[in-house]
Structure 1
């Protein structure tokens, strides 16, 4: 089915990605860098320890992509093997996850709603099952509470908090999603459970958390994302409207607080036209008359501005704006048309609603919060 050269390319990318995510794991888990000096250097010991992050993390991505691949083979739709994309930025002195994810390329034409649905939903369902068990293991096998002092011995200094504030330390806090919150409160021993500032130092919790994050992104009910295929399967006649509504809600939440009446007038004179221009860029490909696009864009900006006037502390998560840009300009918010809109069978409907439930459990409104 595949040529020897293809196997070589895909296996090589997979192995390189294991290495780069292990390097990234050393940075997140232990503060050890490949080019670090003295106590900050990534030794072989810490590289091997970091495999406890990279193997479950890449394993979940692998299972996700194989779910797509095996289902496409089942439906005789030609596709590539998974392309794993290394993405380590440690050589720049910057933190990264070690990968930009993985994709498979569909090479065959799909003109079936059932095939779109089956191939789309198989990946996140398969990946979610593995992620669930990775998290279950992480929550039930937590180390003793003083483990964090091995990573941060400075925490033993009673004056550390004050010194950190004076020196302008930046902390990363992970936000809760519903599943993570439920599992923490039902599986973890409270005295061992780290707070959300320290989860990045626990390999199985961090790997599972990232897996839920990417699962939720894939299951957004927009365009040609896996969640878009699910919605297209359930509501083929109304997919475009549903996708546009969810995309608009996503953008609206992401942009809350970007413009508000409590900013300096000089800031507003710059931010308002730039923000409206950004909104036009991401809506430009939407299947709407130009007048309707402008009306929607101005309505979004006006309502956001009005809400922040009434609730000055209200803000969304601006980090989602990058993904909104990718959806609007690169992937698109519309789904390819297929012939026929015959209703799916009961089994597929159950799976579709299960996928929607998984999205609700996994979606994190504010995943990465820098303070």
Structure 2
């Protein structure tokens, strides 16, 4: 009670199920009461919320302390269903890159399993990096939700839902950076394996077709891996194509860069919020304008058209993310040098994955 007294005067304490309720009067603003007392309760395994309740005579304020639950309750059917759907869509997307015909025999879909496994491994390692560090810092988080979409990608990535409050900037940095850093390791491994495998034979009817084709950009990380392994990133012979695992690695790099945009509750938003504190919101507010401006410059001065649509779409998306704001840690203690270095390394990884125009449509 003495710990609460400076910001909240308690007149009654009672239990309501698994919660402890403190009835009383705030001695500071609601945000100050929560920011001062939330860490105290967090250390004892409780989440805290200040609320107003109507009484017989006048509204009363209560502090509600709810025991924090970490872990999985029951079978996560939604996660399982989305993961299964993403297996199917990435298998189908893989048939495009392997040039597998599934019309005659639908079971040919299974021949694209290396591509599907590579994509799911990259995304899974990324999201479980977040999940494991969330558990280490005792922050409640869901298992990954995979997002299935049609080819050529087969997936729009994966997310985990943070249900608990972040205790400190240190925890926020660890949770935000662990996903991209773990995911980029998986991406590098998949890409190197793909570069070492023999190219895929392209049917001559496809190689000589006049139909539109997609040409993918080569981020610095992909070029560096090709140089280190001594492998080409293209072939003069149109009947040869890079192994689909290289494309899986390319997709992992694109997802890494987009996740590291420093806005809202994207990984980059978490990392910058941990590094810069509340000043992160100033940077986040500028990100949509930068993306719209970048798309406009490419449209006016670059040899592109619909390809810049990705930056317009992400301009809209980041506008919404900036509006809802970043995750706010309970403690604003600055980071030590080690974690500052980790944060900067994380953004360096994102820079190595950047592509001004990720793909071009060649007619």
Q: TM-score, normalised by structure 2?
A: 0.72
Aligned to 1:183: 225
How far off is 1:199 after superposition? 9.2
How far off is 1:198 after superposition? 8.8
Provide the C-alpha distance between the structure 1 equivalents of 2:337 and 2:122, rounded to a whole number of angstroms: 28
Q: Give 1:11's match in structure 2, choosing from 76, 80, 83.
A: 80
RMSD: 2.8
Provide the C-alpha distance between the structure 1 equivalents of 2:240 and 2:271, rounded to a whole number of angstroms: 32
* Conserved? CA contact 1:142–1:193, under 8 Å: no
* Conserved? CA contact 2:204–2:239, under 8 Å: no
How far off is 1:213 after superposition? 0.6
- CA distances 1:322-364 after superposition (whole Å, capped 9, x unpaired): 1111111256473244454322012211111110110110111
Q: Give 1:357's match in structure 2, choosing from 332, 348, 355.
A: 348
The alignment partner of 2:312 has SS state of helix
Q: Give 2:144's match in structure 1, choosing from 82, 87, 94.
A: 82
> Relative to 1, partners in 2 of residues 1:245 and 1:186: Cα closer, same or farther, differing over 3 Å?
same
Provide the C-alpha distance between the structure 2 equivalents of 1:199 and 1:342, rounded to a whole number of angstroms: 55
Task: Report runs of 4+ in structure 1 exceeding 3 Å deviation.
Answer: 192-201, 311-316, 330-334, 336-341
- CA distances 1:162-194 after superposition (whole Å, capped 9, x unpaired): x72xxxx2110001211111222332434x844
The alignment status of 1:73 with 2:135, answered yes or no, reads yes
How far off is 1:197 after superposition? 9.0
* Conserved? CA contact 2:165–2:330, under 8 Å: no
Alignment of 1:168-247 (within 5 A): 169-190=211-232, 193-194=234-235, 202-247=243-288
* Conserved? CA contact 1:172–1:197, under 8 Å: no
Gaps of 5+ in 1: 89-94, 259-307
Q: Rg bigger for which structure?
A: 2
Alignment of 1:19-98 (within 5 A): 19-30=88-99, 32=101, 34=102, 36=103, 41=104, 43-44=106-107, 46-88=108-150, 95-98=151-154
Alignment of 1:281-296 (within 5 A): none
Provide the C-alpha distance between the structure 2 equivalents of 1:139 and 1:322, rounded to a whole number of angstroms: 31
Provide the C-alpha distance between the structure 2 equivalents of 1:346 and 1:19, rounded to a whole number of angstroms: 44
Structure scoring higher RCO (CA < 8 A, sep ≥ 6) equals 1
Q: TM-score, normalised by structure 1?
A: 0.70
Q: Which has the higher helix share?
A: 1
Q: Give 1:328's match in structure 2, choosing from 306, 316, 319.
A: 319
Provide the C-alpha distance between the structure 2 equivalents of 1:349 and 1:210, rounded to a whole number of angstroms: 28
How far off is 1:201 after superposition? 5.7
> Relative to 1, partners in 2 of residues 1:189 and 1:313: Cα closer, same or farther, differing over 3 Å?
closer
> Relative to 1, partners in 2 of residues 1:125 and 1:48: Cα closer, same or farther, differing over 3 Å?
same
* Conserved? CA contact 2:304–2:360, under 8 Å: no
